[in-house]
């Protein structure tokens, strides 16, 4: 199982780009086993939605 650190990196990256098949699978497997990361993914999604509603965008280069 991948680490929670790697899982959170992938969760963040999937908001900006399409994950590879192996990344998606690894993340999915981790999320099946880790309730803390499932909660983190849910919270990241909420933050992303709220920022999109406000029209916030990340600074250039990020």
Token reading at 15? 């908001």
Tens-digit pLDDT profile for residues 15-58: 889 999 999 999 999 999 999 999 999 999 898 888 888 876 65
Q: Is residue 61 part of a domain?
A: no
Q: What is the mean pLDDT of residues 2-19?
A: 93
Q: Is residue 62 part of a domain?
A: no
Count structural domains, the chain: 1
Q: What is the reported pLDDT for 60? A: 55
- Alpha carbons 13 and 42: distance in angstroms, whole number: 14
Q: What is the reported pLDDT for 39? A: 97
In whole angstroms, how large is the CA radius of gyration of the chain?
12
Q: Is residue 26 part of a domain?
A: yes
- The pTM score is 0.75
Token reading at 42? 């849910």
């Amino acid at each position: 199982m991948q680490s929670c650190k790697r899982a959170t990196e992938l969760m963040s990256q999937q908001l900006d780009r399409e994950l590879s098949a192996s990344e998606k699978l690894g993340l999915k497997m981790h999320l099946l086993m880790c309730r803390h990361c499932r909660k983190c993914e849910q919270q990241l999604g909420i933050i992303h939605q709220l920022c999109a509603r406000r029209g916030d965008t990340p600074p250039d280069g990020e």
